[in-house]
Amino acid sequence: MKMGIFSLMTGIPGPSGFGSASTAEQVTDGIDASNLTAIVTGGASGIGLETARTLALRNAHVIIAARNLEAANEAKKSILEDNQTARIDVLKLDLCSMKSVRAFADSFKALNLPLNILINNAGIMFCPYQLSEDGIEVQFATNHIGHFLLTNLLLEKMKDTARVAGIEGRIVNLSSIAHMHTYGEGIRFEKINDQNSYSDKMAYGQSKLANILHANELSRRLQEEGANITVNSVHPGLIMTNLFRYSGFLMKILKVCTCLLWKNVPQGAATTCYVALHPKLKGVTGKYFLDCNEWEPSKFAKDEVLAKQLWDFSNKLVNSPRDA
């Protein structure tokens, strides 16, 4: 169901009972996640940290997956200071590197833990043109390909956990309303690495569109095989975090001009936590959420053919030699 700009600005709750003013703690109030294990990528700062903190507050066992281990351990320390019984582990993950993603998956599996929830939260935004160590445009590599590979590597663990525990698994991809501002083709399969026509804003939008398409296609595949796992994507809202480190003066001006639309970090983590934990969403899959309510994404995001193309393209990338 669509919500209007008035709802976004005022925080008036939508059909779910929550809205843009709701916080992560509010949307998970009363939920006991003590039998759940969750991975949060990018859980060392910003809304990832707030997501990890809230899940731990609801008694979930949380694995913070982060590139910067020092920051991740500081995050763990800060969570434990407020919640001494929190179950928090830290593992290194650099989503820009397929080698690192594979190493993380191996390290997690070695812990012999179940996996109920995977929150693909980490990302970069509006950065200058560069290639990852695997030779892929860095926003597409980090925001989409890294999470695509991570999800694939952990999927059997999630299926096994759901089967043995009888508890629905949930995968949450953090996208953005920026998915509507992408290149004319939606996903430029033939020009992913084209520097001459590179736009930092549209490349970001392309990667966020990919997050939704990935969630939708994975949801379709899991439904087809009868797996007890849901996959949804969310837009957390406009939050001034360190994602904006590349955006400079322009975005600071934008924040002043659109101040009523911006959220604080606890509000920014609300939709993620709602989709990951709330019992109302049992069995709900292949949807896009904003402000804890279902929202209709762009035409590209609903394109099933494009989603299948992206799946095949991504599979080829993660299974090809580095110079492919």
Q: Which residues lie below 8 Å from residue 238, measured CB to CB, with a gap of 6+?
A: 255, 258, 261, 262, 263
Burial of 6 (0-12, 13-18, 19+ CB in 10 A): exposed
Let me know: does 112 contact 164? Beta carbons within 8 Å.
Answer: no
Let me know: does 64 contact 88? Beta carbons within 8 Å.
Answer: yes
Q: Catalytic: 198?
A: yes
Q: Considering the candidates 129, 198, 204, 288, report the single residue annotated as catalytic.
A: 198
- What are 263's two structure tokens? 């959220």
Catalytic (active-site) positions: 198
